[in-house]
Structure 1
Amino acid sequence: MNRIHWVPLFIAALLAGGCVSTGTYEKKVEEARLLDNTVKALESEYAGLLKQKEGLVLEKKDLTQNLTAALQQSADLQQDLVSARADTDRLERVLSTRSQEAGQAMAEMRQNIDRLEGDNRRLQQQITDLASQVEKERVARETRVAEVKSTYDELGSKMESEITRGEITISDLQGRLTVNMVERILFDSGRADVKPAGLEVLRRVGEILGGVKEKEIRVEGHSDNIPISTRLAQTFPSNWELSTARATNVVHFLQEKVGIPGERLSACGFSEFRPVADNATSEGRAQNRRIQIVLVPIEERVEAPPTK
């Protein structure tokens, strides 16, 4: 803004009138000077106000932009808050569900623990019972072994002469006592009836073996590989029939004459198919023609199938 320098003009006007005294003039000059200073101050203040206005306009613009940004940020934060609340609600539902599931799982786990503890107690009891049973079986087995050994010793003592002549052999393998009797002491060649001398031997053997408890007495008939002669073929078509008939007759004698219960006896024939010696020699064939009386544990007995 261009300022008009009116003070000199005012002074000049006063001088031109010629009616102003010196004192008045000086007073007016001073007033004009003060007024000019006031105007200058006002102009300076006005310029400052204009500059301040420009600054305020810029500041307002910045504030407006900041306000717009703040409002947008507030809107974004509000949206985030809504999303956060939704997530919180969802998480609370998930946590509630998981808490229920965890509670149910804990309850099931406690039930399983209780069941396992019960199973463990039963298992411990079974182990205790089994250990007791094993101990009883061990004692019983040792008793049976001792009984078999005693029977073995008794047979060896009472059948000493037959053993010495090679007519009888006795073996004890893992508690299975076997009395092996060659053919000549019991039977004539090709016959199944026990000879009188053989009956006496069978009686002594049967009385000893019959005293052994919890054992089955199995009588096995064996032959050599020489076919049955034509003369005997009608009675014994093969060595199967001959070996089985001999074993059966021995069982009959042990049951009927010695008094051994029938449920403890069994008979079987093996023909020539379980030799103990070489059938190529007469000595070997003589050893293969034999009766074996075997003490078998009761648990090995073959039970007959139930009748329908």
Structure 2
Amino acid sequence: MNRPASDASPAALLAPVLLGATLLAGGCAVSTPAGERASGEALCKDRIDSLRAANQRLRETRDVLRDSLRFRQGVEAGRYYRERRNLRDRVERMSYMLTQLREGGRTVEVIEADALFEPASARLTPEGRTRLDTLAARIERTYPERRLLVEGHADGAPLSAELQETYPSNWELSALRAASVVRYLTAGAGLAKERFRLVAFADTQPVASNETATDRRRNRRVRVAVLPEPRASAGADAEW
């Protein structure tokens, strides 16, 4: 009488598994003989060595790039501070120029005193009056109703004793020359006197040295400038 399948012995049940494992092991042994296994291990070792070498090269490249980046950052930082310093210098120069412009106005014309006055005098010549007529027409055409500044300048040469009886110093001479110009532009050319401001600088603002006659002639001058127009709102900056 046959036994039920459940009554089979453990050895009988494990036999097929052991047989499969044996066959599998035998198949692996057959498919990977000792020579091929040694060759594969050598190939793996070569690949590992190659990867290690490549990794080392990458590390070296990384270090070079990192140093280069640090250097570039240093260069960029230096360039930034140089540009910042240059910009600050430009702003300071422009601020200074703006201050000068607002205090002294925008130049309309600079006329040498020799073209306006008699020698060593504040009296206008006929040619000087003609020159001021032309200037007045230009002012009315270009700057109608704008405030004006007239500056008187002298050279650095000392005045003679005779001249000092009329003009004790270059302060008086430069002031009276500026006053003569204002007087003619208002009374002679018809510009409103309320528009004018007058200032004398004597020889304190030369445009050339006083060593030659040519330089001294350049320093003896009258400057006419238009002043900035105040804004309507109180406390606001003046505008042109």
TM-score (norm 2): 0.50
8 Å CA contact 1:214–1:298 kept in 2: the answer is no
Give matches, 1:10-29, under 5 Å. Answer: none
CA–CA separation in structure 2 for the residues paired with 1:214 and 1:260: 9
What does the per-residue CA deviation read over 1:62-83, in whole Å, with 9 as the maximum and x for residues that have no partner? xxxxxxxxxxxxxxxxxxxxxx
1:205 to 124, 135, 143: 135
1:253 Cα deviation after fit: 0.5
CA distance in 2, matches of 1:203, 1:194: 12
1:192 aligns to 2:192 (yes or no): no
**Counterpart Cα distance in 2 of 1:242 and 1:254:** 19
For 1:236, the equivalent position in structure 2 comes to 167
Q: For residue 267 of structure 1, report the CA deviation from its aligned partner.
A: 1.5
Equivalent residue number for residue 247 of structure 1: 178
1:182-215, CA deviations, whole angstroms, 9 ceiling, x for partnerless residues? Answer: 1221012210011011101101111211331352
Q: C-alpha distance in 1, partners of 2:118/2:188?
A: 21
CA distance in 1: counterparts of 2:182 and 2:164, whole angstroms? 23
* Aligned equivalent of 1:264: 195
Partner of 1:225: 156
After superposition, the C-alpha distances for 1:73-94 in whole angstroms (9 at most, x for unaligned) are xxxxxxxxxxxxxxxxxxxxxx
Q: Is the 8 A contact 2:155 2:210 kept in 1?
A: yes
Partner of residue 281, structure 1:
212
Match of 1:26 in 2: none
1:272 is displaced (CA, Å) by: 0.3
Measure the CA separation in 2 of the matches of 1:276 and 1:200. Answer: 25
Matched, 1:297 2:228: yes
For the structure 1 residues 210 and 195, does the alpha-carbon distance in structure 2 shift closer, same or farther, using more than 3 Å as the test? same
Aligned-partner Cα distance in 1 for 2:157–2:217: 11
C-alpha separation between the residues in 2 aligned to 1:275 and 1:292?
Answer: 12
The CA distance in 1 between the partners of 2:129 and 2:149, in whole Å, is 17
Q: Superposition RMSD on alpha carbons, in Å?
A: 1.9
Q: Which blocks of at least 5 consecutive residues in structure 2 are unaligned? A: 1-104, 232-240
Contact 1:218 1:294 in 2 (8 A): yes
Q: Which residue of 1 aligns with 2:22?
A: none
Query: Which residue does 2:70 correspond to in 1?
Result: none
2:113 alignment counterpart? 183
- SS of the counterpart of 2:150? strand
Per-residue Cα deviation, 1:237-285 (whole angstroms, up to 9, x for no partner): 0000000000001101000111111110122110000011111222111
Q: TM-score, normalised by structure 1?
A: 0.39
Q: Which runs of 5+ in 1 are unaligned?
A: 1-174, 301-308
CA distance in 2 between partners of 1:252 and 1:214 (Å): 17
Tell me which protein shows more helix as a share of its residues.
1
Which whole-Å CA distance do the structure 2 matches of 1:221 and 1:299 have between them? 24
**Residue 182 of structure 1 aligns to which amino acid in structure 2?**
E
**Identity of matched residues, %:** 35
- Structure scoring higher RCO (CA < 8 A, sep ≥ 6) equals 2
- For 1:187, the aligned partner's letter is F
- Write the distance in 2 (CA, Å) between the matches of 1:214 and 1:207: 13
Query: Is residue 174–residue 202 contact of structure 2 (8 Å, CA) maintained in 1?
Result: yes
Maintained 8 Å contact 1:221/1:270:
yes
| 1:30 alignment counterpart | none
TM-aligned CA deviation for residue 217 of structure 1: 1.4
Check conservation: 2:107, 2:223, Cα contact below 8 A: no
Q: Max radius of gyration: which structure?
A: 1
Distance 2:161 2:202 in 1: 17
Give, as a single letter, the amino acid of the residue that structure 2 aligns with 1:202. Answer: L
